[in-house]
Amino acid sequence: VDGSIPDYQVSAWLMAAYLNGLSDRETLALTLAMRDSGQTVDWDGYTGLRLDKHSTGGVGDKVTLVVIPILAAAGVSILKMSGRGLGHTGGTIDKLESIPGFRTDITVSEAVKQVGKIGAAIVGQTAALVPADKKLYALRDVTATIASIPLIASSIMSKKLAGNPNAVLLDVKVGDGAFMKDLNVARQLAKQMVLIGTGAGVTTEAALTSMDQPLGRAIGNSLEVIEACDLLTGYGEPDPIFYDLCIRLSARALSMAGIAQSEENSISVVKALIANGAGANKLEEIIFAQKGDPKVVRNTDLFPKSSFVVHVVSNEEGYVKSIQTKQLGMLAMRLGAGRETANAPIDPAVGIVLFKKVGDKVKTGEKIGELHLNSMLGSDTHVRELLSSYEISTTKPKKSLFLFEILH
């Protein structure tokens, strides 16, 4: 970080670590050194339980927007530092910035005060936290050393530990739309991160969850926040897998915090916080505290809207056998919902809404999705891309895509 070690030496070390691996002890030592390379969050005598939640990312993953308000409503303190999207995966910060006025650039000290006042804050990662990670990642990118479990785990966990939480819940995505395509490799990463967290004295659990189809129905920034708001306010029928995952992750976090004593009790508490409006109320509080317009939670017409909505209908009959999730993520990116380069602009209004998911019956001519566009240029190609991401079969698939495996 101070420039005393030249890049070529660090690159040589990264390649050695990539080829030979790191022991658990070495990985923990690397993570703690990275954590201590910059500022860490000072809770200044705050004695309450502080939980952090992290997702490894995917397509349509707006779980944070539901889970954080629920946990804060239950009495858990949460300072969530989130990132921006890149490539086919979305970023929580981009989603929140589709809320009119919402500020994600509040300082760490402001965020800590907000957590003390209302229980939660969701902010962008600051350059002062874990500067070693930024430098190492830039070198990993150009030396083909990205795909290393110890290096990935230390990168993620150094940023989590810099927040000085008491407990961390990790949501490790696996499947076509995730960075980890293989269940066994995802399990290795999850285990490594749990070992790092517990080795650092932090209660840590990981959930392995599926990204073999988009999570929920919406892909795109304001569209995803609307879907999260609708779940919390009870508007419409939520996507069942998205709903179940939000419930289960929230329930696990409550168990980790000691607020609920059993899984059954945790799930009941979470469902009650949605049913009685406490989760929606807390989201309004968070938005108001961060200078956004809280009225969006119950009036989603206040979100940015696209100029055009193109209905996409099926040209086949049968059952949805699979959805090419990464392909849809890349399509959403090209529409303007994501970015190919770190500094590319984001269009908050554009994206995709899916009406058919894996296992659903589809008739010829039935609507399977919508494209939300601000330009009709290339829209015919976009329609074909959406259709080609669906595999339709004459028989209903037997396997459920819901995955929830907890690693302690």
Dump strand ranges (E) for 274-396: 308-313, 318-323, 351-354, 361-362, 367-373, 390-393
* pTM (predicted TM-score): 0.95
Q: What is the DSSP letter of 182?
A: S
Per-residue pLDDT tens digits for 151-204: 999 999 999 999 999 999 999 999 999 999 999 999 999 999 999 999 999 999
Dump strand ranges (E) for 95-139: 120-124
Using alpha carbons, select from 401, 397, 373 the residue that is nearest to residue 385.
373
Q: Could you give the CA distance from residue 73 to residue 67 in angstroms, rounded to a whole number?
A: 10
Q: Could you give the CA distance from residue 60 to residue 277 in angstroms, rounded to a whole number?
A: 24
Per-residue pLDDT tens digits for 374-408: 999 999 999 999 999 999 999 999 878 899 999 99
Catalytic residue positions, numbered: 54, 133, 140, 155, 159
Q: Cα angle at 173 between 36 and 391, to 5 degrees?
A: 155
Indicate the helix (H) or strand (E) that contains 78. strand 77-82
Q: Could you give the CA distance from residue 276 to residue 269 in angstroms, rounded to a whole number?
A: 11
Residues of the chain with pLDDT under 50: none
pLDDT for res 47: 77
pLDDT for res 340: 84
Q: What Å distances lie between residue 140 and 35, 50, 193, 228, 374, CA to CA?
A: 18, 31, 19, 34, 36
The structure tokens 């289960």 sit at 248
Per-residue pLDDT tens digits for 288-319: 999 999 999 999 999 999 999 999 999 999 99
Using alpha carbons, select from 176, 195, 237, 207 the residue that is nearest to residue 67.
207
pLDDT for res 30: 98
pLDDT for res 341: 81
